[in-house]
Amino acid sequence: MTTATDAVNPYLLLTPGPLTTTATVKEAMLRDWCTWDAEYNTLVQRIRARLVALATPAPGFTAILMQGSGTFSVESVVTTALPPTGRLLVLANGAYGQRMAAIARRCGVACGVLDSLEHHHPDLERLDNALSADPNITHVGMVHCETTTGMLNPVAAAGHIVRAHRRSFIVDAMSSFGGIPMDMDAMGADYLISSANKCIQGVPGFGFVIARRSVLAPTRMQARSLSLDLYDQWHTMEQQNGKWRFTSPTHVVRAFAQALDELEIEGGIEARHRRYCENHALLVDGMTRLGFAPLLPPHLRSPIITAFESPKAPAYDFQRFYAALKAAGFVIYPGKVTSADTFRIGNIGNVYPADIQRLIAAVAKARFW
Ligand SMILES: *Cc1c(COP(=O)(O)O)cnc(C)c1O
């Protein structure tokens, strides 16, 4: 199976979202959808229940949908979950961990950062020591797949430590949820955040949070923002059977429901994970044969997105490389690592091993240096 490109879709998005979606997901948006009735509300309730089921088999969890891109959902958690006296500790090893800390600082939430630099896993002994030393830390935040480098972080091991210290654990699983099997209860997470346009393979327009009810319930009136008040959004969805407080992205929600159906048809998260792993293995193998070096060693990589070191050849130029691949039907992603010159290629979305093989052939042709 490959994903056809045509006049309407002249290239595949090999990016961490928005990503390549199926024609049927896009078709779900080709009509006007009403919002103030039972049919729509039932659809929202069903999406919420399905998200909880994908996140954990354990009881006691709920899902909240939130307008905006994924960052809005991270912001809604950080600015709602922590009480005025709370303190957040972020384990950061890339731009998205740093962004969680930046949200806290901007919104007046006390925050510290344990920075392990972009090439390393967070130091969990330092986490353990920090939690022992500072009883004022109430929450720990961490990114599951750090999309900056493509690193897969040890969330379950960190969650184990956070739980042992009886603090709350916030996991940004934006780029991994739906593409990597996980059980948020087993990983000790109280909040797990993702968005419509990543591994569920929907289109951009809202994010979602799966939360432990007993942790979310006491957060009423804590939010530093009205529109991003996670508790209020939850309360309204619960009390009014799936109603959003403010205009919901109806078309995007319809497309998301279709994307969830298609995830199920594919065989669920396990099957999607296998496809992504196959894509990733072909990508790394093909690029390595062409002389490109992955930034991270194998044990730190994710099957989501891969950072490659930029070629050292003086004639190499990312913009030119990018344009050549785009003309050949593939959009890749610029680098985001601060300490190295890289570019990134994602392999999530409606993308198949045969597409990756075509990509490798296109890369071989596109090299001009
Ligand atoms: C995509 C992503 C986000 C959210 O980014 P938006 O541009 O706001 O959608 C947050 N964290 C991670 C790890 C991501 O990959």
Residue 240 CA to ligand 1 centre (angstroms): 29
Nearest protein Cα to ligand 1, atom 15: 175
Q: What single DSSP character describes residue 84?
A: T
289 CA distance to ligand 1 middle (Å): 31
Do residues 238 and 15 lie in contact, with contact meaning Cβ atoms separated by under 8 Å?
A: no
Digit-by-digit pLDDT tens for the chain (369 residues) are 788 788 788 999 999 889 999 999 999 999 888 888 899 999 999 999 999 999 999 999 999 999 999 999 999 999 999 999 999 999 999 999 999 999 999 999 999 999 998 899 999 999 999 999 999 999 999 999 999 999 999 999 999 999 999 999 999 999 999 999 999 999 999 999 999 999 999 999 999 999 999 999 999 999 999 999 999 999 999 999 999 999 999 999 999 999 999 999 999 999 999 999 999 999 999 999 999 999 999 999 999 999 999 999 999 999 999 999 999 999 999 998 888 899 999 999 999 999 999 999 999 999 888
Q: List every span in the chain annotated with CATH 3.90.1150.10.
A: 12-21+268-366
Q: What residues flank ligand 1, with Cβ below 6 Å?
A: 16-17, 69-71, 96, 143, 147, 172, 174-175, 195
Q: Of ligand 1's atoms, which has the minimum distance to the CA of residue 94?
A: 13
Give the integer Cα–Cα distance in Å for 228 and 206.
12
Which atom in ligand 1 lies closest to the alpha carbon of residue 144?
13
**What is the number of the ligand 1 atom nearest to the C-alpha of 74?**
10
Roughly how many angstroms between the first and final C-alpha of the chain, as a whole number? 32
Residue 48 vs residues 54, 180, 228, 308, 339: alpha-carbon distances, Å = 10, 19, 18, 37, 39
Residue minimizing CA distance to atom 12 of ligand 1: 174
Run of H or E residues at 2:
none
Residue nearest to ligand 1 atom 2, measured at CA:
174
Query: Ligand 1, from 13, 91, 175, 304: best to mutate by most atoms within 8 Å of Cβ?
Result: 175
Predicted local distance difference test score (pLDDT) of residue 60? 98
Distance, CA 151 to ligand 1 centroid (Å)? Answer: 14
DSSP-derived letter for residue 171 is E
Task: Tell how far the Cα of 102 is from the centroid of ligand 1, in angstroms.
Answer: 14
Cβ atoms of 62 and 234 within 8 Å: the answer is yes
For residue 313, how far is its CA from the centre of ligand 1 (angstroms)? 32
How many angstroms is it from 133 CA to the middle of ligand 1? Answer: 31
**Ligand 1 probe mutation, 77, 145, 152, 172, most atoms within 8 A of CB:** 172
CA 55 to ligand 1 center in whole angstroms: 18
Instruction: Say what the pLDDT of residue 153 is.
Output: 98
* Residue 229 alpha carbon to ligand 1 centre in Å: 19
Q: Which tokens sit at 171? A: 């996991």
Contact status, residue 308 vs residue 294, Cβ threshold 8 Å = yes
The two beta strands, 110-115 and 139-143, are unpaired
**CB proximity list for 84: less than 8 A, separation 6 or greater:** 222
CATH topology assigned to domain 12-21+268-366: Aspartate Aminotransferase, domain 1 (3.90.1150)
For residue 124, the CA-to-ligand 1 centroid distance in Å is 24
- The rounded Å distance from CA 207 to ligand 1 centre is 10
CB atoms within 10 A of CB 85: 8
What pLDDT, on a 0 to 100 scale, did the predictor assign at position 8?
82
Q: What is the DSSP letter of 244?
A: -
Instruction: Give the tokens for residue 355.
Output: 């597409």
DSSP state string for 98-124: HHHHHHHHHTT-EEEEEE--TTS---H
| pLDDT for the residue 9 | 87
Choose one of 193, 195, 197, 200 to mutate for the ligand 1 pocket test, by most ligand atoms within 8 angstroms of C-beta. Answer: 195
Question: In the chain, where does the domain assigned CATH 3.40.640.10 lie?
Answer: 24-263
Distance, in Å, from the CA atom of 21 to the CA atom of 3, rounded to the nearest integer, reads 9
| CATH, range 24-263 | 3.40.640.10
